Chains A and B, each alone.
Chain A
Amino acid sequence: MQYSTRIGSSKKKSLSQKFFDLNWFIVLVIILVASFGFAMLYSVAGGSVDPWAKNQFIRFIIGLILMIMVAMVDIRVWMFLAYPFYAVALGLLLIVDIMGEIGKGSQRWLDLGFMNFQPSELIKIALVMALARYFHCLTDDETTQLRSLIKPIILIILPVVLVLRQPDLGTTILIVLGGIALLFAAGVRMWLFVASLIALIPAAYGAWQFLKPYQKQRVLTFLDPEKDPLGAGYHIIQSKIALGSGGIYGKGFIQGTQSQLNFLPEKHTDFIFTVIAEELGLIGGLTLLGLYFILLAYAIIVSMSVKSQFGRLLILGMVFTFFLYMFINIAMVMGLVPVVGVPLPLVSYGGSAMLTLLMAFGFILSAAIHKETSIPRGGAFA
């Protein structure tokens, strides 16, 4: 009861006020990260804005505008829209699934005319929003109760099933780990995670049986890439050669032999970090990691001063999703984890991931702008 009175008391910001409250330094860092992408896409095209850099730039501008718009919308609106948003994303995922069924083949995207959109990207942020809202509405006691976990687990499993059917191992991992991180941040009891970890071993065995042969092959090849140097291991070996030969200072912009002479596969998408490391060296790689660090550190620090649990969880969920993209991608190209097809955030060529990640940052910025806004447990517009 007393919370509702506080809604009105929260300071209502004007649009222009919000615009100035935006953390422009962070926006600048985002632009810098994306610029890494433009530069590398220009490089891997042999010094040409076509076919990738120009497209990527246009999408980034659209995404940036979308991000700022998302940031300026009141956090309570996002909380209100969390479930419908989740429902829409899940619906799109279902449509893709059905279309794939009809089209007799795996399809992961919807043709939007100007770009192909992957609903599996959208579901990552939709899930974070839905879970954040769910935990926002729980009391402390409820949070620690086991039965409170039923609903979030269903929220996680539904998209996981659909994504696995595509089949997209990378996205599945992102969804599951992102979901778990959110449950953890929300305060679910620690022993549950420990127990789950133990239970994971037989589960992993079960999942192994469920994997497609090519996915199994990827894992096996990852464990020993030299076993199949001309086949599945080729990508990893070539990527490591490119990275290693880059050394500390790199071979120079548009001078990477592995990438320019096409020894490196998928150099404009999943393996773009390799190009950075080859052409700009350890220094280039660390610079990009540094920029990512600034973005994520800022978000985490801000999250600790956000008044609403929804806002906090929203930020952490987005941060963790963003981090997973980055970590899995870089670990993958360096041969630390299997090749699962996860793009390097804001750098790899591709519209869906770019838009999704910029939207995610939109939510982070929105939560930051509206950090003083506290929301009753019953919901902003309940």
Chain B
Amino acid sequence: MNPSDANKLKMYTRRATIVSGGMLLLSSALIGRMYYLQVTNRNQYELLADKNRISMRLLAPKRGDIVDRFGREIATNTTDYRVNVIPEETKELQETLKSLGHYIPISENENKRVLKAAKKQRSFLPINIANNLDWETFSQVNVNMPDLPGVQPDMGVSRYYPEKGLVAHLVGYVGSVSENELNGDPLLELPEFKIGKNGIEKTLDDKLRGSAGNSKVEVNVLGRVIRELSRQDSVSGETTNLTIDLDIQKFAANRVSDVSAAVVVMDIHTGDLLALSSTPSFDPNDFNNGISQKKWDALREDIRKPLINKAVSGQYSPGSTFKMIVALAALEAGIVTAEETKFCGSTFKIGKRIVHCWNKNGHGHINIIQALAQSCDVYFYELALEVGIEKIHEMSTRFGLGERFNIGIMSEAKGINPNNKWKMGTQGVRWQGGDTVNAGIGQGYVSTTPLQLCVMISRMVNGGKAVEPKIFSDDDPLSMSNDIGISEKNLKIILQGMNDVYNHPRGTAFSHRSRNKNYKLGGKTGTTQVRRISTAERQTRVLKNNEKPWIERDHALFVGYGPVENPKFSICVIVEHGGGGSSTASPIARDVLEFVINNDKKRNAETII
């Protein structure tokens, strides 16, 4: 080897060694980095990798049923037969849709919607084609699956109200979760999840909802589920038992189906509400998937207000049904006795104002029982003035008027149980004698709900016990009601008056008395003016109800109970703008009470056998 070559080799060897050293250095940097990532920080990256691949899917719980006192379904869930299509599993989406069209009608628009959706979303995600299919159609699709590549029959759950409008106001309805109802609970964010929007569905939502389960799944980068890793099943919502008797509820609702009315039926001893109807009604099933604008507008614009639960939210002057309160206030105060009479000459003068009795001929000399039975206004104008508003107010309070019972359904109204303090507070003006006169016949400031009136009569006929209304039958059944402290003697007087309303030939509801020979019914009619009758009208002619526009007609009321021999059930009927309490409300009350009592006897007979 010549010197030049030797030099070159020497130089090369030196330089190559340096290069090699450099390469080794860089390689050790790689190894160091690997160690840092895979050993030092391994746990952190493992978590991130799991976060990538593991997805928690919530499993929606089954919503609890709502049943009546005998376990009959009021709100439940039904299987919703659906058909979806998974674009990626079809040979040609349009072809599949065409074949599917033989079994399920697919409109032009539907077809377009599906094709559009298929373009937008990932091809392994199902697109819904049809909902709420009947079993026949659904099974046809299932049988023909081999000819329908990509079609996926699916079963979902829908809330179902078998009685439709019958119990609608009570149970309410469910709907999709709205933006402002989101509270961080991921369950609410499930696309198909429904929550209670009204009625018991809303007030008991937590109990009915149940708790979500979850399924841990492994997903790929596109979100496709590869496999399930673990699963915790959801817990169904609890079944809620109502005190409602569906038979009675149905009967009552049907009885008033053609009018705008509320019927409340109660067990006077337990406070169990057996029926709580309000008509007209709506079909809660319509709300499941969002009610159509057309239906919604129709419901909202109906002057009979089908969306309002009149039984608890409607506030009405109690009218003559209030006379028992006035009578009891006077009796308890010792202002009047059963024998004492007053003279009704059809008019009564208070200051410069002249007020009238409904009977233009006047009732003549009558005592308190007759005054109740014949519903004499003049008697109670006078009596009210004698006893004063504060005592009346105090008596109303004992009977639950002006009280919100919080029975657990929405928008229970409070009504107005007025006195001087109330008037000063709300109007800034002292209570006047004229106000007392108005209150004496349940007009003026007094305002009550059908539920309150039903509680009132219950407390009168159950021996003066402060029974509380209840809608849930799992509430403590043994709770004893307190005595409201009315003397038995005075209660008897009131009961006699109410008995006579139906059963005395001069009673206001005599023509609508019980047709059953085995028992009698009692109660009190009420007719409340919606519009004040002017002096001019009185001088010419008072328009008959059917001559006035519906909205100006009188409300017809009736509070009743039965059987008179051994009171067990009470009722309150209000027919909005229905005319007279005796002509319109008392026959309804009679029919419902008869149904309730007959049913009860039948059931008792069965249990004995």
| Chain B interface main SS type | helix
Is there a chain A Cβ closer than 8 Å to B546's Cβ? no
Tell me which of B22-30, B107-115, B237-245 binds A.
Answer: B22-30
A240 touches B27 (CB 8 A): no
Label chain A's interface by main secondary structure.
helix
B53 proximal to A (CB < 8 A): yes
Q: Are B38 and A257 in contact (CB under 8 A)?
A: no
How many A-B pairs have beta carbons closer than 8 Å: the answer is 142
Looking at the complex, which one of A245, A248, A309 makes contact with B45 (CB distance below 8 Å)? A245
B34→A184 contact, CB < 8 A: no
The answer to whether B550 has its CB under 8 Å from any CB of chain A is no
Chain A residues positioned under 8 Å from B18 (CB to CB): 184
Task: Please determine whether A245 and B42 come into contact, CB atoms closer than 8 angstroms.
Answer: yes
Name the one of B16, B35, B52 contacting A263, with C-beta atoms under 8 angstroms: B52
| Chain A, range 274-323, C-beta contacts under 8 Å to B | 277, 281-282, 285-286, 289, 293, 296, 300, 303-304, 307, 309, 312-313, 316, 320, 323
List CB contacts (< 8 Å) of B30-63 with chain A. Answer: 30-31, 33-35, 37-39, 41-42, 44-46, 48-50, 52-53
Which one, B5, B29, B49, B218, contacts A245 given CB within 8 A? B49
**B27–A293 touching, CB < 8 Å:** yes
Is A336 on the interface with B (CB-CB < 8 A)? Answer: yes
Distance between A284 CB and nearest chain B CB, rounded to angstroms: 10
- From the candidates A143, A277, A330, name the one contacting B38 in the complex (CB within 8 A): A277
Contact among B1, B4, B9, B30 for A331, CB-based, below 8 A: B30
Chain A residues whose CB sits within 8 angstroms of the CB of B19 once the complex forms = 181, 184-185, 316, 320
* Distance of A139 Cα from B5 Cα, bound (Å): 9
Residue among B2, B12, B50 facing the most chain A CB atoms (10 A cut-off) = B12
Chain B 196-240 against A: per-residue CB contact (8 Å), 1 yes, 0 no?
000000000000000000000011111000100000000000000
Contact with B along A178-198 (1 / 0, CB 8 A): 000100111100000000000
For B23, list chain A residues within 8 Å (CB). Answer: 296, 320, 323, 327
Nearest residue (CB) in B for A135 is: B8
Shortest distance from the beta carbon of B363 to any chain A beta carbon, whole Å: 87
Is B30 touching A289 in the complex (CB atoms < 8 A)? yes
Report whether B4 and A261 are in contact in the complex, using a CB–CB cutoff of 8 Å.
no
Give the chain A neighbours of B27 by CB distance below 8 A. 289, 293, 327
Q: Which residue on chain A has the smallest CB distance to residue B20? A: A300
How many residues on B have C-beta within 8 angstroms of the other chain's C-beta atoms?
A: 43
Q: Does A243 contact B (CB under 8 A)?
A: yes
Residues of the A chain whose Cβ atoms lie less than 8 Å from the Cβ of B5: 307, 309, 374
Evaluate contact between A247 and B38: CB separation under 8 angstroms. Answer: yes
**B221 near A262 (CB under 8 angstroms)?**
yes
Q: Is the CB of B221 within 8 A of A185?
A: no
Whether A334 lies near B15 (C-beta < 8 A) is no
Is B11 at the interface (CB under 8 A from chain A)?
Answer: yes
What residues of chain B have their CB less than 8 Å away from a CB belonging to chain A?
Answer: 1-2, 4-5, 7-9, 11-13, 15-16, 18-20, 23, 26-27, 29-31, 33-35, 37-39, 41-42, 44-46, 48-50, 52-53, 218-222, 226
Beyond contacts A187-B8, A282-B39, A285-B38: 12 other A-B pairs, Cβ-Cβ < 8 A, are A184-B19, A185-B12, A187-B12, A244-B42, A244-B45, A262-B221, A277-B34, A282-B38, A309-B9, A312-B9, A323-B23, A331-B26
17 contacts between A and B (CB under 8 A): A140-B7, A241-B49, A243-B37, A244-B46, A246-B38, A257-B53, A261-B52, A262-B221, A289-B27, A304-B13, A316-B16, A323-B26, A331-B33, A334-B30, A334-B37, A374-B1, A374-B5
Contact surface of A with B, Cβ cutoff 8 Å: 2-3, 139-140, 143, 181, 184-187, 238, 240-248, 257-258, 260-263, 277, 281-282, 285-286, 289, 293, 296, 300, 303-304, 307, 309, 312-313, 316, 320, 323, 327, 330-331, 334, 336, 374, 377
Q: Which 8 A-B pairs have the closest CB atoms?
A: A244-B45, A245-B49, A261-B220, A187-B11, A262-B221, A244-B37, A245-B46, A245-B45
